[in-house]
Structure 1
Amino acid sequence: MVKVLFVCLGNICRSPMAEAIFRDKVKKENLQHIISTDSAGTGNWHIGNSPHEGTLDILGEHQINCENIIARQVEEKDLQDFNYIIAMDASNLGNLHRLKGFKESGEVFRLLDLMNDLSIEDVPDPYFTGNFVEVYDLVDKGCEKLLSYIKKKESLSI
């Protein structure tokens, strides 16, 4: 099983959005038996909470299922358990690298690192900007690129 973890700050906006979008894309390609996805935050403020209302609304508009997504904090063991750990911004990436005993077993990078045609490198945090539409568009395109990258890297086909 190829395991993908999306990471943001509080795990209520960007990373659960990415988890739901990526899971939807994986399911549409009938790869859910090969690729699993999860999300977590580097902070502990929202542990146990559902995704932010703005995230729920935008996912609902696009008919993307986000059931069973509950905020949690990233743990050291995640760094060994997941093949791909995808940070939403440079700060999240830095927080991952500062985890005690940081030893990842897979690849760790930002979602937008796969998109060379953008003028930004980080997915903005809609918790502060309020712009869930912009974040959805970036995450959707990023997840599309990520799925293509993983399929090629892991030699997966439909």
Structure 2
Amino acid sequence: MVNVLFVCLGNICRSPMAEAVFRNEVKEAGLDHLIYTDSAGTGNWHIGKRPHEGTLEILDKNQVDHTKITARQVGEKDLTDFDYIIAMDASNLGNLNRLKGSNKSGEIFRLLDFVPEAITEDVPDPYFTGNFNEVYEMVEKGCANLLTYIRKNENI
């Protein structure tokens, strides 16, 4: 089983959106028995809460299932349990690398590392910008390319 973890700040906007979109892509590819998807936040403000209403609305609009997604905080164990850890921005990446320390398990990337034509390296936080449509487009493209990368890297 390949384990993929998406990480943002509070785990109510970007990372649960990416979790739902990626899980949908994996299911459509018939790989849900081979790839496990989850999300977490670097902060603890929203633990146990459902995604932000803006995230839920854009997922519903695009018919992407988001049931059973609730916020949680990333922990050290995640950095050994997950093979691919996908940060949404430089701040998340920095926090993950500090948490990781010398641990060599799990590769940490930014989602837009998988979108070479992206005009930015960071997925902006719609909690602050309000632009859930823009974020959804970035997440959708990043997740599609991530799945291609994992399939090639893992020979699945």
Alpha-carbon distance between aligned partners in 1 of 2:118 and 2:101, rounded to the nearest angstrom: 33
Matched, 1:33 2:24: no
Under a length normalisation based on structure 1, what TM-score does the superposition of the two structures give? 0.97
SS in 1 for 2:47: coil
Q: Is 1:145 the counterpart of 2:142 in the alignment? A: no
- Confirm or deny that 1:132 pairs with 2:132: yes
Point out where structure 2 has 5 or more consecutive residues left out of the alignment.
none
SS in 2 for 1:71: coil
Number of residue equivalences: 156
State the partner residue of 1:90.
Answer: 90
CA shift digits 1:1-36 (9 cap, x unpaired):
000000000000000000000000000000000000
Name the aligned partner's letter for residue 51 of structure 1. Answer: P
1:16 partner letter: P
Structure 1 ranges of 4+ moved more than 6 A? none
1:122 corresponds to: 122
State how far apart, in whole Å, the 1-side matches of 2:2 and 2:58 are.
27
Name the amino acid aligned to 1:112.
L
* 1:76–1:102 Cα contact (<8 Å) kept: no
Q: Which amino acid aligns with 1:5?
A: L
Counterpart amino acid of 1:19? E
The TM-score normalised by the length of structure 2 is: 0.98
CA–CA distance in structure 2, aligned partners of residues 18 and 100 of structure 1: 22
**Residue 68 of structure 1: aligned partner:** 68
Tell me by how many angstroms 1:51 deviates: 0.2
**Cα 1:153–1:25, aligned 2, differ >3 Å: closer, same or farther?**
same
Check if 1:55 corresponds to 2:55.
yes
Q: Distance in 2 between matches of 1:50 and 1:102?
A: 33
Identity of aligned residues (%): 69
Question: Residues 127 and 153 from structure 1, CA distance in 2 versus in 1: closer, same or farther, beyond 3 angstroms?
Answer: same
2:7·2:85 contact (CA, 8 Å) conserved in 1? yes
Per-residue CA deviations over 1:130-153 (Å, capped at 9, x if unaligned) read 000000000000000000000000
**Which ranges of structure 1 fall in alignment gaps of 5 or more residues?**
none
Aligned AA (1:133):
N
Counterpart amino acid of residue 148 in structure 1? T
